Amino acid sequence: MLYDKARIFVQGGSGGNGCLSFRREAHVPRGGPDGGDGGHGGAVVLLCDDSLRDLQSFKRRAHYKAPRGRNGEGAQRHGADGGDLVVRVPPGTQVESFDGSRHDLVVPGRRVVIAPGGSGGKGNRRFTSPTRQAPRFAERGLDGQEGWVELRLKLLADVGLVGLPNAGKSSLLSRLTRAAPKVADYPFTTLEPVLGTLEGDDRQLILADIPGLIEGASEGAGLGHDFLAHVERTQLLVHVLDLAPLDGSDPLENWTTIEHELELHDARLARLPRILALSKADLVAEEDAARAAAEWRERLGPDVPVLVTSSATRHGLDELGRELLRRVPVQEPRELEDELAGEEELAEHRVFRPAERRAFRVDRIGDGVFRVAGEPVERLLARHDLGNEDALAHVEHRLQRMGVIAALERAGFEPGDDVEIGGVVFELHPG
C-alpha cells in the first residue's frame, strides 16, 4: 500500500543552561566567576532521500525530538551542542510546517530545518562588568520550536496514465514496464498509484498508473480526489480511452469527463502534452479501430498523437514506448534545482531590517496589575530565575533599556505593582 500522507510532531532540542560557578583554588584569592555557557539544542532536519518511495515509515513513528544541548560547567567549560535529528523523506514530499511555511523536497540531498533548537543560556562569567564583578546568576536555555507537520507525497513520475475505471491503464502499464498492478473486470481495481519503469536504450522513464477518475473526482467523488495530485509533476499524460466500453458509454463523453476533471483540479494539467492511447483494440474489428483513430486525429489535431493499442496482443505498445521516450524531455538534476532556485535564493539572500522599536505591548488588567506581551520580553523572562535577586535586578535593568519600564509608567504603573510577562507575575521595583 502506498502511503502518501503523514502527520508528524517535531520538537527541536532545548538549549542547555548556563552555569553559575566561581573559581576556587588554593592560593588564588580572587578566582572570580567561571561558569560556562550552555550548548544549543539540536534541530529537526528533513532530508530528501531518493532511496525512499513513500511515507510508510511515519505510520510507525510520529514523534521526533532532537537532542538537547548540554549544560555549561565550571572552569568556563561550555556545554556541547545537541546533534541535529535527520528525518528522511522521499523525493516529491511537500511539507507544511506548524509556522505556516511550506517546502518542496524534490532534489535528493536537499535539507530543510523544520524545527530549530533552542539557544543555550549564558554562564555567569558572561555577565561580569566593572560594576558587577561577581554575578550570582546565569541564564537558562530556551526550548526548541515544536509543532505538528503535514507531509504529502506527490509522485515524481515522468508520465501519468489517466482515464476512466476499467479503461485499461493497469494492463497497459504492466506490459510497458515490469510493474505488476492488480488487474480485474470491475471498476476501481487500482486503489493506489502504481509506478513502473519504461526502459529505453540510454534512459528510463517512470510511469504512474493513476486510479480511475470519474465525474466529480476533483470535488472528492470516487477515488480520484486523493490521487489527482500525483499527476501534477508529470511532464506528459497518456489518456487511455477504451475503444468499446462494456457499459455502452460514448468514448467522446468519457474523454470529455476526464479532461474536464483534470482542468478543474489544476489548470496546469490542462496544458500538459497529451498522447491518446485507444485501448483494447483486440476487442473490436481492425477497420473499426482504424476508423476511430482517424476520427480522433481529426478531432484533436496534430499536437496529440493517437495510437491504437492492445495490452493482450502488444499491438501498438512498442510504438507508444518510442513516442514516450521521444516526447518526454531529459530533465537533469540541475534543472530540478533551478525550479527551486527562487526559494533557495530567498533563504540565502534574506534582507534583515531593524525591528520595530517597541516589539511589545503593555495592558492594564487590574488595579495595580499590568501585562506585558511580546517575544523579546517573554524570552528575557524565560531565561532567568526571578527568585534570584541578582537575576531580578538584571531583568529590571534590561526592561529599562528596552523601554518597557517607560511604557509601564505611561500606563499608570507605580513601583511595587505586579507585572505579568509570559504567564509569570512578579513585583517590579525599578531603580
H/E segment holding residue 343: helix 341-348
**Is residue 359 very low, low, confident or very high in pLDDT (cuts 50, 70, 90)?**
confident
* Residue 412 predicted with pLDDT over 60: yes
- More confident site: 189 or 390: 390
Alpha-carbon distance 209 to 215, whole Å? 18
Give the contacts of 294 (CB within 8 A, at least 6 positions apart). none
Over pLDDT 70: what percentage of the chain? 83
**Is residue 159 very low, low, confident or very high in pLDDT (cuts 50, 70, 90)?**
confident
Quick one: pLDDT at residue 351? 55
Alpha-carbon distance 24 to 30, whole Å? 8
Q: Which three cell numbers stand for residue 219?
A: 470535488
- For 389, the 3-state DSSP assignment is helix
Confirm or reject CATH 3.30.300.350 for domain 361-427, answering yes or no. yes
Q: Give the CA count within 13 Å in the CB-facing half-sphere of 83.
A: 3
CB 359 within 8 A of CB 403: no
**Is residue 168 very low, low, confident or very high in pLDDT (cuts 50, 70, 90)?**
confident
Quick one: pLDDT at residue 290? 92
DSSP 109: T
Alpha-carbon distance 250 to 421, whole Å? 70
**Is residue 38 very low, low, confident or very high in pLDDT (cuts 50, 70, 90)?**
very high
Q: What is the 3-state secondary structure (H, E, C) of 70-101?
A: CCCECCCECCCCCCCEEEEECCCEEEECCCCC
**Is residue 188 very low, low, confident or very high in pLDDT (cuts 50, 70, 90)?**
very low
| pLDDT one-digit tens code per residue, 198-247 | 877 777 788 888 765 544 444 444 444 455 666 667 888 899 988 888 77
Whole-number Cα distances in Å, 325 to 19, 195, 201, 239: 65, 16, 10, 16
Domains 5-153 and 159-328 equal at CATH topology level: no
- More confident site: 335 or 172: 172
5-153 maps to which CATH number? 2.70.210.12
- More confident site: 179 or 389: 389
- Of 89, 95, 328, 290, residue with least CA distance to 198: 328
* Residue 179 predicted with pLDDT over 60: no
CATH superfamily of 159-328: P-loop containing nucleotide triphosphate hydrolases (3.40.50.300)
- More confident site: 330 or 378: 378
Model confidence, pTM: 0.70
Average per-residue pLDDT in the chain? Answer: 82
**Weakest-pLDDT range from 122-131, 140-149, 322-331:** 322-331
- Domain extents for the chain? 5-153, 159-328, 361-427
- Of 253, 223, 219, 259, residue with least CA distance to 239: 259
Q: Which residues pair with 149 in a beta bridge?
A: 8
* Residue 379 predicted with pLDDT over 70: yes
